[in-house]
């Protein structure tokens, strides 16, 4: 029994070294750490989820790794994610106890009237959420049909989640870079771990999707509560 348990633990460790497996682990940690709080920012008292900042940002870093595998097409979005992570980290570093969660940061900026400024942490959280929206849309397309055209999947995911909020320059740059997207098989192979089949990657992606959907629902509720959910790129 003990030997079998050790073998299972070793198998789990092997699985977690994959990119998708690591993302599932980070989201699992975040899910456990979440707490429900009561806020009275609006006329009616509302229950929202208090999201710990550090595990959220750790997951966003893993999104960057996934986007890297798509190639130069995601360069602008990747850079944007990195900058927004750093902005939120700087706020956290200013007072790790007070700003240990996203809601406290957004409440502070709402009270100061700075939520909609170009360099606000609220805006950073908004664009990180949109990057996660894109990631979710892309993964959902891939898991539905692992053989579909990768360029089409990326373009459709972008059009659905980010394009409505981008300016024409960013949209044009994305359109040009879209031709550099790798084929489907290449992308799946780089996501896979050692000796991991496409079916195993597909199972990992499904696990990630199941955790990402409720997280994004909670993030959008927070963004809407503080009235930053419709901001476009500055």
The pLDDT score that the predictor gives to residue 31 is 74
pLDDT of 78 over the 80 cut: yes
Task: Provide mean pLDDT across the span 74-79.
Answer: 83
Task: Provide mean pLDDT across the span 155-173.
Answer: 91
pLDDT of 75 over the 90 cut: no
* Span 50-226 CATH architecture: Orthogonal Bundle (1.10)
The pLDDT score that the predictor gives to residue 89 is 96
Whole-angstrom distance, CA of residue 109 vs CA of residue 121: 8
The pLDDT score that the predictor gives to residue 65 is 86
The pLDDT score that the predictor gives to residue 67 is 85
pLDDT of 44 over the 60 cut: no
Whole-angstrom distance, CA of residue 142 vs CA of residue 134: 12
Between 124 and 33, the more confident residue is: 124
Q: What is the pLDDT of residues 84-122, one digit of tens each?
A: 999 999 999 999 999 999 999 999 999 999 999 999 999
pLDDT of 223 over the 60 cut: yes
CB 27 within 8 A of CB 208: yes
Task: Provide mean pLDDT across the span 64-93.
Answer: 89
pLDDT of 46 over the 70 cut: no
Quote the percentage of the chain above a pLDDT of 90. Answer: 47
Whole-angstrom distance, CA of residue 129 vs CA of residue 90: 18
pLDDT of 15 over the 50 cut: no
| Cβ neighbour number for residue 162 with a 10 Å cutoff | 22
Conformation bin of residue 39: beta by default, left when phi > 0, alpha when psi is -120 to 50 = beta
Whole-angstrom distance, CA of residue 82 vs CA of residue 24: 20
Whole-angstrom distance, CA of residue 67 vs CA of residue 77: 8
Quote the percentage of the chain above a pLDDT of 70. Answer: 84
Query: What's the mean pLDDT when you consider all of the chain?
Result: 83
Task: Provide mean pLDDT across the span 200-210.
Answer: 89
The pLDDT score that the predictor gives to residue 146 is 80
Whole-angstrom distance, CA of residue 19 vs CA of residue 201: 10
CB 165 within 8 A of CB 133: no
Task: Provide mean pLDDT across the span 204-217.
Answer: 92
The two structure tokens encoding residue 80: 């944007």
The pLDDT score that the predictor gives to residue 234 is 66
Question: Which stretch of 37-41, 133-137, 177-181, 202-206 has the lowest confidence by average pLDDT?
Answer: 37-41
CB 59 within 8 A of CB 29: no
Task: Provide mean pLDDT across the span 223-229.
Answer: 95
Integer angstrom CA distances of residue 227 from 14, 62, 126, 167: 42, 27, 10, 20
Q: What is the 3-state secondary structure (H, E, C) of the chain?
A: CHHHHHHHHHHHHHHHCCHHHHHHHHHHHHHHHCEEEEECCCCCCEEEEECEHHHHHHHHHHHHHHHHHHCHHHHHHHHHHHHHHHHHHHHHHHCCCCCCEHHHHHHHHHHHCCCCCCCCHHHHHHHHHHHHHHHHHHHHHHHHCCCCCHHHHHHHHHHHHCHHHCCHHHHHHHHHHHHHCCCHHHHHHHHCCCCCCHHHHHHHHHHHHHHHHHHHHHHHHHHHHCCCCCCCCC
The pLDDT score that the predictor gives to residue 47 is 59
């Amino acid at each position: 029994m003990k030997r079998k348990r050790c073998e299972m633990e070793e198998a789990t460790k092997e699985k977690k070294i994959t990119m998708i497996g690591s993302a599932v682990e980070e989201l699992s940690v975040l899910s456990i750490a979440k707490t429900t709080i009561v806020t009275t920012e609006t006329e009616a008292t509302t229950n929202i989820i208090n999201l710990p900042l550090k595990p959220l940002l750790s997951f966003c870093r893993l999104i960057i790794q996934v986007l890297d595998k798509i190639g130069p097409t995601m360069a602008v979005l990747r850079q944007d994610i990195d900058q927004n992570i750093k902005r939120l980290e700087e706020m956290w570093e200013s007072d790790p106890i007070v700003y240990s969660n996203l809601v406290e940061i957004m409440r502070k900026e709402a009270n100061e009237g700075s939520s909609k400024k170009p360099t606000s942490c609220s805006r950073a959280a908004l664009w990180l959420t949109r990057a996660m929206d894109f990631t979710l849309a892309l993964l959902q397309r891939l898991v539905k049909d692992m053989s579909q055209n990768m360029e089409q999947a990326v373009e459709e995911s972008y059009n659905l989640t980010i394009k409505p909020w981008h300016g024409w320059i960013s949209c044009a740059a994305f359109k040009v870079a879209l031709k550099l997207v790798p084929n489907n098989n290449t992308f799946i192979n780089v996501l896979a771990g050692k000796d991991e089949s496409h079916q195993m990657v597909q199972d990992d992606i499904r696990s990630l999707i199941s955790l990402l959907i409720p997280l994004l629902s909670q993030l959008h509720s927070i963004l809407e509560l503080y009235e930053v959910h419709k901001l476009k790129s500055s």
